[in-house]
A and B are shown apart, each in its own frame.
Chain A
Amino acid sequence: MLYAILCYAHEETVFAWSREEEEAVMAKLIEVQTPYAEAGKLGPVGRLMPTTAATTVRKGSQEPLVLDGPFAETKEVLLGFYTLDVETLEEAVAFSKALSAVNPGSSSYEIRPFLVFRPGEIKPSETKT
């Protein structure tokens, strides 16, 4: 099964991390991912800008509406996602648990099977990881 693993968190807290705190957390998250990447099980990974940089296109009565901000005004917002190719849900749960263990705070990870998945052929140029 091919899974998308979605990371939710309070962005007020996450974007208040100092550069050092951020680097420490990222290093630990990379550590969790490395074995999966080496086993060829990890697909594209993305991290998203703050929701203040988001735009939402919503269905209007005639034309689609283009609105500022994220899709929903909830306290917890989508921060990023992982794409994981594993045999079982258990393995996806284990991966998410490991991420959760090294991620401070109340982040949640939503595991949701893909209906359609396209790896794409984009070559990221501007966004550095």
Chain B
Amino acid sequence: MTDIAWIELALTAARPQALGALLRYFRDLDTAEEAFQEACLRAIRTWPDKGPPRDPAAWLIFVGRNSGIDVVRKRSRNDPLPEEEAFSDLSDAEGDMADRLDNSHYRDDILRLMFICCHPDLPATQQIALALRIVSGLSVAQIARAFLVGDSAMEQRITRAKARVAKAGVPFETPGPAERAERLGIVSAMIYLVFNEGYSAGITNPDSAAFCDEAIRLARLLLRIFPAEPEIMGLLALMLLQHSRAKTRIDTNGQIVLLEDQDRSRWDSRLINEALALLDKAIRHRKPGPYQVQAAISALHARAPTPKETDWQEITMLYGLLERIQPSPVVTLNKAVAVSKLEGPEAALEMIAPLAEKLDGYFYFHGVKGGLMMQAGRRPEAREAFDRAIALANSPAECAHIRQQIDKLGAVTPPVV
């Protein structure tokens, strides 16, 4: 790794803390981003000669704050109205940086930076784009490539999202415990959105696949600043487990490989071990939540050396728990799949029948239904469900996967004479 490559990694790693602190200081996202950018440019100029500082984030905050103050002063000289009110602590320009860093502000700074990307008015894709731009520091071009849109379209989208956030007002007060817990939940959901975007779009677009790593990085960061939150442990464990199968869930032709057909020896044991360690920690808290339960289900797959050894009993029980804490037809659908492994396809078909209306527009529902019908030997109904699934497929890979199922169906159908 070259020096510059290392510096870029260090800048990216320090970004959430440094930008979060600068945002609190200047109370304006654009000013904070400019100040951070300027500090990064200086880092690239001076670190190769002087060596990297011991605490890159503190260095960037200090340099960024000073350069931001210069900019604001220049602006206010050209402006008849003093802008001192626009940001806090200007008189504190020589203040002790370490003092500001050592207090517990920085974790709320990072949380705030993530939280402003989750404005409820922003659709999921805009939340993802904004978080990747602001918190992760990905370039507009990188994000545009991942979403398969042009640079200027993505630039516009991000600018609009930022304006929306600014209009809503950024909450600068230190949050109380209840508010902080609520923010953590919202931010966790946003991180999982980032992961899922990478997970699903990454099948065909390697630029999106990087989102999975980014989401994992953000979750690690969040857990580092809130180390005793079992749901963040669960979220991180869940993503690590899903990511551990990244190399095996798509074959060389870009086709989806089902969990039971994946080469388990190629699952990333390092990610699995970390996830299992996190789950062990989370369970000690005895505060189960949706991420922990989903991670626990995923862990049972990871622990099974072969698909046959999967503990479907335990998985069914966990889906039952998930149904209680976060009821949703999709959870019931997943539970039905587990039940089919224990009691056969008819029992599962009975369970999913009441879901038909709610999940009629859902690809996975018809895929599962087709599979169960096929197992039950009800070929015409299987065919019907698979056709419906193809019509709803979100990607060519999903489409191709269902076609394979239909081929299997054809293989057992007596040829029409």
A52 to B239, CA, bound (A): 14
Contact A51 B228 (CB under 8 A): no
A21 to B57, CA, bound (A): 22
For A77, give the chain B residue with the smallest CB separation. B224
Collect the chain B residues with CB atoms within 8 Å of residue A66's CB: 284
> How many contacts between A and B, using CB within 8 angstroms?
71
Collect the chain B residues with CB atoms within 8 Å of residue A106's CB: 51-54
Q: Which of under 10, 10 to 19, 20 to 34, or 35 or more describes the interface residues of B? A: 20 to 34
A13 touches B (CB below 8 Å): yes
Shortest beta-carbon distance from B95 to chain A in Å: 20
Contact B269 A126 (CB under 8 A): yes
Majority SS at the chain A contact face: loop
For A56, give the chain B residue with the smallest CB separation. B227
Interfacial residues, chain A to chain B (CB-CB below 8 A): 10, 12-13, 15-17, 21, 24-25, 49-53, 55, 66-69, 75-76, 104-106, 126-128
A13 to B278, CA, bound (A): 20
B405 touches A (CB below 8 Å): no
Shortest beta-carbon distance from B138 to chain A in Å: 13
Contact A16 B9 (CB under 8 A): yes
Shortest beta-carbon distance from B291 to chain A in Å: 14
Contact B56 A50 (CB under 8 A): no
Evaluate whether A16 and B223 lie within 8 angstroms (CB atoms) in the complex, with A55-B281, A104-B6 already known. no
Collect the chain A residues with CB atoms within 8 Å of residue B277's CB: 49, 53
Collect the chain B residues with CB atoms within 8 Å of residue A76's CB: 54
A-B contact pairs, 13 of them (CB 8 A): A16-B12, A16-B13, A17-B9, A49-B273, A50-B274, A52-B227, A53-B274, A53-B277, A53-B281, A55-B281, A104-B3, A106-B51, A128-B269
Contact A68 B228 (CB under 8 A): yes
B236 touches A (CB below 8 Å): yes
Interface centre among A53, A69, A76 (most CB of B within 10 A): A53
Collect the chain B residues with CB atoms within 8 Å of residue A10's CB: 10, 13, 56
A13 to B270, CA, bound (A): 18
Contact B228 A67 (CB under 8 A): yes
Contact B10 A105 (CB under 8 A): yes
Collect the chain A residues with CB atoms within 8 Å of residue B119's CB: none
A24 to B54, CA, bound (A): 24
Collect the chain B residues with CB atoms within 8 Å of residue A126's CB: 269, 273
Collect the chain B residues with CB atoms within 8 Å of residue A75's CB: 54-55, 57
B221 touches A (CB below 8 Å): yes
A94 to B13, CA, bound (A): 30
Evaluate whether A68 and B13 lie within 8 angstroms (CB atoms) in the complex, with A53-B274, A105-B52 already known. no
B220 touches A (CB below 8 Å): yes
A12 to B214, CA, bound (A): 12
Shortest beta-carbon distance from A91 to chain B in Å: 25
Contact flags (1/0) for B1-16 with A, using CB distance below 8 Å? Answer: 1010110011011100
Collect the chain A residues with CB atoms within 8 Å of residue B133's CB: none
